[in-house]
């Protein structure tokens, strides 16, 4: 067995030979991370402008979060839910107060949390609303990304994620994203709808940002039809978009964000993952109120690792960092700086046509087809210049740095982005 990887080439060859080829990573092998930076095997330093798809909002290896992990790891890591442990209840009280809900059901991964929300909403529909069993439907949006389990890919329209994985799970109705009229029509004409599952911003689809009042109007339509609104904030939550959540309707969230403008709403169910543990340990959660969560009884849902003391301690530390370091406020301020710079850059760029986003979840659109390699080629060039980002949907580059970034660091990153793209355009052929 190798004691350590000696080169990036060696690491890539090992993965290629022994690992499933279910990802297409940039050709960089990372071995260390701290704050907004990562280093490769050869010691080259990069700005991380992806944050592990917004899991590392608090920065790499945050000492407070890592400290919580190591302290608890030396005491008790796992009991399963066959027994109580002395951390879970403390976490449950902390996280429900933090987000303003009555109950939480902790899991491990984002996809597990989405599956959990789907199960709860269906059970609620049968037992509280009287929808006949096995007839409940859930409305979702086109171009959604909620995970990769069999159930979730059943309502995806990404053929890369779907094709040849059927038969698919029924019970889902797709509508266009950001289309209130379509939602209202479905709910009015189909009384078997249990819930509307939606991302407040569609990250994987290319940081598609809806109208400012979309979620608020969706909540009104759902409430009028006794349908649950499920907000999937796995990627947008935990300060990424400049507020604690992309949709905030309770005073707790608003006071943490110090953000009062705009239109916010409290969902019936909140789905969290990724940055709830700062990228240190897999933790996810579904939060809702008593009258909904009470449909789940012993033995009806769970996970061996869900609610383990290690994850609970890590998650509390990660959420404390968000407050202590005012990460929502920083994301909001730096997001405005980033979009202002990119909009000015677009005026002199041939290849970049649009920047969109909220907080520090942003994307630029490249003037080429989705089938082209242009966005990928730009990301490879960015890597060579010390910044790591990744394309999505072919001609879109997503930019999501850790929220601990300073304004000086952000400007340095914008300099790299602008310089790289202008150099690329000298030889670029559309």
Residue-by-residue pLDDT tens, the chain, 430 positions: 666 888 999 999 999 999 999 999 999 999 999 999 999 999 999 999 999 999 999 999 999 999 999 999 999 999 999 999 999 999 999 999 999 999 999 999 999 999 999 999 999 999 999 999 999 999 999 999 999 999 999 999 999 899 999 999 999 999 999 999 999 999 999 999 999 999 999 999 999 999 999 999 999 999 999 999 999 999 999 999 999 999 873 334 545 655 544 556 899 999 999 999 999 999 999 999 999 999 999 999 999 999 999 999 999 999 999 999 999 999 999 999 999 999 999 999 999 999 999 999 999 999 988 888 999 999 999 999 999 999 988 899 999 999 999 999 999 999 999 999 999 998 876 5
Which of 290, 325, 360 is the endpoint of a domain?
A: 325
Q: What is the pLDDT of residue 252?
A: 44
Instruction: Say yes or no: 320 and 342 in one domain.
Output: no
User: Does residue 145 carry a catalytic annotation?
Assistant: yes
Spatial CA neighbour of 95 closest among 293, 247, 286: 286
Domain count, the chain: 2
Instruction: Say yes or no: 345 and 419 in one domain.
Output: yes
Instruction: Say yes or no: 73 and 163 in one domain.
Output: yes
Instruction: Say yes or no: 265 and 348 in one domain.
Output: no
User: Is residue 1 situated within a structural domain?
Assistant: no
Instruction: Say yes or no: 265 and 362 in one domain.
Output: no
Catalytic annotation, pick one of 232, 268, 338, 424: 232
Our measurement of the distance from residue 355's CA atom to the centroid of its chain's CA atoms, rounded to an integer in Å, reads 19
Instruction: Say yes or no: 252 and 306 in one domain.
Output: yes
Instruction: Say yes or no: 369 and 359 in one domain.
Output: yes
DSSP string, 269-314: EEEE-GGGGTTSS--EEEEE-HHHHTT--TTSS--SSTT-HHHHHH
Instruction: Say yes or no: 32 and 143 in one domain.
Output: no
Torsion sign across C-alpha atoms 218, 224, 230, 231:
positive
Q: What is the pLDDT of residue 4?
A: 81
Q: What is the pLDDT of residue 251?
A: 39
Catalytic annotation, pick one of 145, 196, 214, 305: 145
User: Is residue 112 situated within a structural domain?
Assistant: yes
Instruction: Say yes or no: 273 and 402 in one domain.
Output: no
- How far, in Å, CA of 421 to CA of 419, rounded? 6
We report the CATH number of the domain holding residue 399 as: 3.90.1150.10
Which of 305, 325, 345 is the endpoint of a domain?
A: 325
Q: What is the pLDDT of residue 272?
A: 98
Catalytic annotation, pick one of 274, 313, 383, 390: 274
User: Is residue 210 situated within a structural domain?
Assistant: yes
Residue 337 structural domain: 8-62+327-429
User: Does residue 102 carry a catalytic annotation?
Assistant: no
> pTM value?
0.95
User: Is residue 3 situated within a structural domain?
Assistant: no
Q: What is the pLDDT of residue 428?
A: 77
Q: What is the pLDDT of residue 369?
A: 84
User: Is residue 204 situated within a structural domain?
Assistant: yes
Q: What is the pLDDT of residue 394?
A: 81
User: Is residue 118 situated within a structural domain?
Assistant: yes
Instruction: Say yes or no: 114 and 181 in one domain.
Output: yes
Instruction: Say yes or no: 263 and 339 in one domain.
Output: no
Instruction: Say yes or no: 332 and 320 in one domain.
Output: no
User: Is residue 368 situated within a structural domain?
Assistant: yes
Q: What is the pLDDT of residue 263?
A: 54
DSSP string, 116-166: HHHHHHHHHHHHTS-PPTT--EEEEETT-----SHHHHTT---HHHHTTS-
Token pair for 180: 């209130």
Which of 301, 325, 349 is the endpoint of a domain?
A: 325
User: Does residue 345 carry a catalytic annotation?
Assistant: no
We report the CATH number of the domain holding residue 122 as: 3.40.640.10
User: Is residue 89 situated within a structural domain?
Assistant: yes
């Amino acid at each position: 067995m190798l004691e350590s990887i000696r080169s990036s080439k060696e690491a890539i060859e090992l993965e290629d030979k022994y690992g499933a080829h279910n990802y297409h990573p940039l050709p960089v092998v990372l071995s260390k991370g701290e704050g907004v930076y990562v280093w490769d095997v050869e010691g080259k330093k990069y700005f991380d402008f992806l944050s592990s798809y917004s899991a590392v909002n608090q920065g790499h290896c945050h000492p407070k979060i890592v400290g919580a992990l190591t302290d608890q790891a030396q005491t008790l890591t796992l009991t399963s839910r066959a027994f109580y442990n002395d951390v879970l209840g403390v976490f449950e009280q902390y996280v429900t107060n933090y987000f303003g809900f009555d109950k939480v059901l902790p899991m491990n991964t984002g996809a597990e949390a989405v599956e959990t929300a789907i199960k709860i909403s269906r059970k609620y529909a049968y037992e509280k609303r009287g929808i006949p069993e096995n007839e409940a439907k859930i409305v979702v949006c086109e171009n959604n990304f909620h995970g990769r389990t069999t159930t979730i890919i059943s309502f995806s329209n990404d053929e890369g994620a779907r094709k040849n994985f059927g038969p698919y799970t029924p019970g889902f109705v797709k509508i266009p994203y950001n289309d209130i009229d379509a939602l209202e029509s479905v709910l009015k004409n189909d009384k078997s709808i249990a819930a509307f599952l939606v991302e407040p911003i569609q990250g994987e689809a290319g940081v598609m940002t809806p109208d400012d009042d979309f979620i608020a109007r969706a909540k009104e339509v759902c409430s009028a039809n006794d349908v649950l609104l499920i907000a999937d904030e796995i990627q947008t939550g935990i300060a990424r978009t400049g507020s604690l959540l992309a949709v905030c309707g309770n005073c707790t969230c608003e006071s943490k964000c110090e953000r009062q403008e705009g239109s916010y709403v409290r969902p019936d169910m909140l789905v969290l993952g990724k940055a709830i543990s700062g990228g240190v340990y897999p933790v996810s959660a579904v939060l809702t109120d008593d009258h909904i969560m009470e449909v789940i009884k012993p033995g009806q849902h769970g996970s061996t690792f869900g609610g383990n003391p290690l994850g609970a301690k890590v998650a509390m530390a990660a959420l404390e960092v968000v407050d202590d370091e005012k990460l929502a406020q920083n994301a909001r301020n730096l997001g405005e700086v980033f979009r202002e710079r990119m909009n000015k850059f677009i005026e002199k760029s041939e290849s970049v046509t649009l920047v969109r986003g909220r907080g520090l979840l942003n994307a630029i659109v490249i003037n080429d087809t989705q089938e082209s390699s242009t966005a990928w080629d730009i990301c490879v060039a960015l890597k060579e210049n010390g910044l790591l980002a990744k394309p999505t949907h072919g001609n879109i580059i997503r930019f999501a740095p850790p929220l601990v970034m300073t304004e000086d660091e952000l400007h340095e990153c914008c300099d790299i982005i602008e310089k790289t793209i202008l150099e690329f355009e000298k030889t670029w052929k559309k």
